[in-house]
Structure 1
Amino acid sequence: MNNILKTKRLSIFDIKIIGIILMFIDHIHQMFVPFGIPNWVDWFGRPVATLFFFVSVVGFSHTKSKKRYMLRLYISMILMSFLTFFLEKIVHYDQVVLINNIFRDLFIGTLMMAGIDLITSGKKHKNVLNILCGFLLILLPFISSILVSIALSNPTILQNPSIMTFIMAFMPAIFLAENGIMVLLIPLLYIFRNNRNIQILIIIIAALFYLFMGSIQWIMIFAIIPIMMYNGQKGKGMKYFFYIFYPAHIVLLYLISAFLYNH
């Protein structure tokens, strides 16, 4: 293993490709559960979120404009929410529920990373306002969760799926995140972005937590292999490929599954 890690080096492009392939396999499992696809196929997808969280940390650290980076993810989060809502409305394929929106997870992560930057800058320049704004950004996903919960406790809203979708689409609530509290890996990996060993340790601890809880999410531990092989290079550019591929492959697999099930 040590020899492999020394001789084989991966760029961010390579890690993205690995993540995309594993994600595609994972979504094949999700979409074809009604056909009895074996549960072990789902194992391939367990390292995916960790890989994309790591990629997001690297991307956010090196992007020329963090504001544009965040805006891209926020718009993608909103569009993905409406896409899955209308797709389910049109197709009426109740056997598969579309909860997919990795853009929400990644946007929540950028909020927290931006918060960390503000706190760091505030401490350096003794700017209390920056520090307070930084903490506010970090807490925003939790505040959003409370606001969404309050809104959904209203019977009128709860009985109107369109209003519910509209509210949830715009709110970066952590309880709506596809990967739940696992999103907290992003700020942790960002804090230690200059120490790969601690990043690996954080992932291992998270994996052991899920193993202790009896969740197959512990398989995320295998994400450390490509992360350990990261060579610090961006590699080939594919800035917008993921933004297109992610929704496109989900729609395609969902429609194929619905068609086969109904015919």
Structure 2
Amino acid sequence: MNAGIQKLKQGLTTFDLKILGIILMVIDHVHQMFLPFGAPNWLDWFGRPVATIFFFTSVIGFSHTHSKSKYMLRLYLSMFFMSLLTFITQNIVKYDKVVLSNNIFRDLFVGTLFMLGINFFQKARHPQHRTRNLIFGIILLAIPFIASLLVLPLTKAPIPVMITLSSLLPAIALAENNVMTLMIPLLYLFKDNRKWQCLIIAIFALAYGVVRTNQWLMILAIIPIWFYNGNKGRGMKSFFYIFYPTHIILLYLLSAVLYNLH
């Protein structure tokens, strides 16, 4: 207990936030994968702050990366391969008790499109190349919505074609957290004002509370975010990209095997 209090006094690094997010995420996915075995619904509560924490760290990562293009390409490729991986896994291991719709990479990539669009709008404040920057900004902000319009026609295509093409689309309609991804550009706009960022999270949580979903528990993400000290901490650039798909597939396979044995 004393160690935890001391840690909060020192503040949490980006590394600390990511580790906290990973721990809560695993608990949430244990609930998802073992729901057929009667996993208690309260396990799902642990996962409600997770997306918010990762949205916040993505704002930090995008703001400080040395190459925004490489950062975005890494997320885009992860989004594509994660989508294909879940589709292939479910086709090889038939297990209709669990549906793999997990792909936080799509949410984060959509968020980078929004953030890059904001960057172009900010550049448009200066007279030089103002029109070009405005056009690029509008296009980037529109892409997730335009891509969403392409999803419906794809449903009429053969399944392998539909899955492959939809895997390539940064559509907000396909994002795991859907409209909640709109929180990313808002957090980015106020990246230098923690109070406003926490207020934005609270407003989203209130909205979910009004529609009576337990996603309102995302408000708990404010606690670790408030204690963020602005430091990076230990590096773990590649770890999450590997751990995220690996633990989901392993939990899915374990659940499928145990269910069939049962």
TM-score class, shorter-chain normalisation, is: over 0.9
Report the AA paired with residue 75 of structure 2.
L
User: Which residues in structure 2 correspond to 1:136-151 (within 5 Å)?
Assistant: 136-151=139-154
Tell me, yes or no, if the aligned pair for 2:31 and 2:44 is still in contact at 8 Å: yes
Distance, in Å, in 1 between the alignment partners of 2:175 and 2:121 is 24
**Equivalent residue of 1:22, what SS?**
helix
Q: Residues of 2 paired with 1:73 and 1:124: CA distance? A: 30
* Counterparts of 1:116 and 1:123, CA distance in 2: 11
Q: Call closer, same or farther: CA 1:194–1:61 in 2, change over 3 Å.
A: same
Q: Which runs of 5+ in 2 are unaligned?
A: none
Cα displacement string for residues 108-151 of structure 1 (whole angstroms, at most 9, x for unaligned residues): 00000000001111222451111111111011000000012233
2:227 maps to which of 193, 214, 229? 229
Which residue matches 1:129?
132
* TM-score, length basis structure 1: 0.95
1:186-205 correspondence to structure 2 within 5 Å = 186-205=184-203
Give the Cα–Cα distance (whole angstroms) in 2 for the partners of residues 235 and 40 of structure 1. 31
| Structure 1: distance between partners of 2:8 and 2:162 | 50
Structure 1 spans left out of the alignment, 5+ residues: none
2:47 is equivalent to residue 45 of structure 1: yes
SS of structure 1 residue aligned to 2:173: helix
SS in 2 for 1:242: helix
The answer on whether the counterparts of 1:5 and 1:229 sit within 8 Å (CA) in structure 2 is no
Q: What TM-score do you get using the length of structure 2 for normalisation? A: 0.95
What corresponds to 1:252 in structure 2?
250
Conserved 8 A contact 1:5-1:228: no
Q: Could you list the structure 1 runs, at least 4 aligned residues long, displaced by more than 6 angstroms after superposition.
A: 3-6
1:206-225 equivalences under 5 Å are 206-225=204-223
Which residue does 1:83 correspond to in 2? 85
Aligned length: 256
Secondary structure in 2 matching 1:173: coil
2:118 aligned residue (116, 119, 126): 116
CA distance in 1, matches of 2:235, 2:117: 27
For residues 7 and 180 of structure 2, the distance between their equivalents in structure 1, rounded to whole angstroms, comes to 26
Q: Aligned Cα RMSD in Å?
A: 1.2
Percent identical residues = 58
- 1:58-97 paired onto structure 2 within 5 Å: 58-97=60-99
